[in-house]
Each structure stands twice: as structure tokens, then as C-alpha cells.
């Protein structure tokens, strides 16, 4: 009569099943490890992409800062080329002073919209255009006020300087 499976047969089957379970376990562990490695690789790629974006943004900021610095240098350079005329009353004189670092040229003065040369409040005839006023220097015009003269002077000054543009300034002066 046939005998049933021997104990060794059962041991062989058990060992085979154990080996199969172990293989499935280790395969699943390996899959989990590979998935974690793939996830880590994706995260590293995302980090590298973000770092590249940050580097680009920093380069853009650096370019913008450089443009600002260049603009500021140009403005400072322009300011060195500009005359700055200011007017004030000192006693019986109208004083026009060039307070800028550059010479003023072709200076035209207007009182209440008309050329200063036509105004009767000055003791001597005034030129239509003052050819040049050096940096730091001034011109004085003697005022002669009579009872009917207005004490308010609305003065406009127009001039040229090394900035290559026509400049102007307006001020209201009280003679008294």
C-alpha cells in the first residue's frame, strides 16, 4: 500500500514554502526601498530645480541692482554738469547766484513774464541775456523803488549749462 508522504517530503515542501515567503518578503522590501530611492531622487530633482530658479532670481536681482547703480552714477554725473541759479533780495539789490558746480550760460531773467531789461525798477539798463555766470559767483542788480512800485517780484530765470538742457527756476521775492 502506498504510504503517505514521508516527513522529509513535508520538510521539503515546508522549506520550499518558507523560501517562497522569504523571497516574497525580500522582494517587497526591495520594492519599498526602490520606491523610497525613487522618491528621494524626485525630491532631489525638485530641490535642484528650485535652486536653479533661486540662482536665476538672484542673477536678475543683481542685474537690476547694477542698473540702479549705473543710473545713480549717471544722475550724479549730470548733477556735476548743472548750474543752479537762486535769487534773493539783499538790501536794495536783486542778487542772482549760481550755487551749482557748473557755469550757467545765456541767462534770461523775466519779471512778471516780461524781460527784466524792460523793467523800470532798476537803476541802470540791464542786458537782455547774461552770457555767463561762473559756478559760485553772483550778479547784483540795484533796485530803485518808488511809491507806486510793487514790492513783489515774480522772477523767472532760464539758462543753459553743461547738462545740455535748458533749465529754469521761478521764485517770488518780497523787496521789503
Distance CA(54)–CA(21), nearest Å, equals 49
Distance CA(131)–CA(153), nearest Å, equals 23
Distance CA(118)–CA(108), nearest Å, equals 12
pLDDT at residue 92 in the model: 84
Residue 112: left (phi > 0), alpha (psi -120 to 50), or beta?
left
The helix (H) or strand (E) run that includes residue 97 is strand 93-98
Residue-wise burial string across 44-73, b where 16 or more C-beta atoms lie within 10 A, e elsewhere: eeeeeeeeeeeeeeeeeeeeeeeeeeeeee
- Judged against a pLDDT cut of 80, whether residue 123 lies above it is answered with no
pLDDT at residue 2 in the model: 60
pLDDT at residue 106 in the model: 93
pLDDT at residue 78 in the model: 65
Mean pLDDT of 147-172: 85
How many helices (H) and strands (E) are present in the chain, helices listed first?
1, 8
Q: What is the band of 97 on the pLDDT scale with cuts at 50, 70, 90?
A: very high
pLDDT at residue 48 in the model: 93
Start-to-end CA distance of the chain, whole Å, equals: 145
Distance CA(176)–CA(156), nearest Å, equals 19
pLDDT at residue 174 in the model: 84
Considering only CA atoms, which of 82, 87, 90 is closest in space to residue 116? Answer: 87
Q: What is the band of 147 on the pLDDT scale with cuts at 50, 70, 90?
A: low
The helix (H) or strand (E) run that includes residue 55 is helix 7-80
- Judged against a pLDDT cut of 80, whether residue 162 lies above it is answered with yes
Domains of the chain, residue spans = 1-80, 85-174
Q: Which three cell numbers stand for residue 28?
A: 517587497
CATH number for region 85-174: 2.60.40.10
Amino acid at each position: 500500500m502506498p504510504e503517505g508522504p514521508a516527513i522529509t517530503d513535508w520538510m521539503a515542501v515546508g522549506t520550499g514554502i518558507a523560501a517562497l515567503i522569504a523571497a516574497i518578503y525580500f522582494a517587497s522590501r526591495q520594492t519599498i526601498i526602490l520606491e523610497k530611492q525613487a522618491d528621494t531622487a524626485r525630491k532631489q530633482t525638485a530641490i535642484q530645480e528650485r535652486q536653479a530658479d533661486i540662482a536665476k532670481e538672484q542673477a536678475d536681482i543683481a542685474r537690476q541692482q547694477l542698473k540702479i547703480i549705473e543710473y545713480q552714477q549717471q544722475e550724479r554725473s549730470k548733477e556735476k554738469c548743472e548750474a543752479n541759479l537762486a535769487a534773493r533780495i539783499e538790501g536794495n539789490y536783486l542778487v542772482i547766484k549760481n550755487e551749482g558746480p557748473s557755469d550757467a550760460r545765456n541767462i534770461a531773467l523775466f519779471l512778471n513774464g516780461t524781460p527784466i531789461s524792460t523793467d523800470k525798477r532798476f537803476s541802470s539798463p540791464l542786458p537782455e541775456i547774461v552770457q555767463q555766470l561762473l559756478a559760485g559767483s553772483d550778479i547784483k542788480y540795484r533796485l530803485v523803488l518808488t511809491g507806486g512800485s510793487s514790492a513783489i517780484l515774480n522772477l523767472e530765470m532760464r539758462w543753459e549749462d553743461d547738462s545740455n538742457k535748458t533749465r529754469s527756476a521761478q521764485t517770488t521775492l518780497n523787496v521789503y
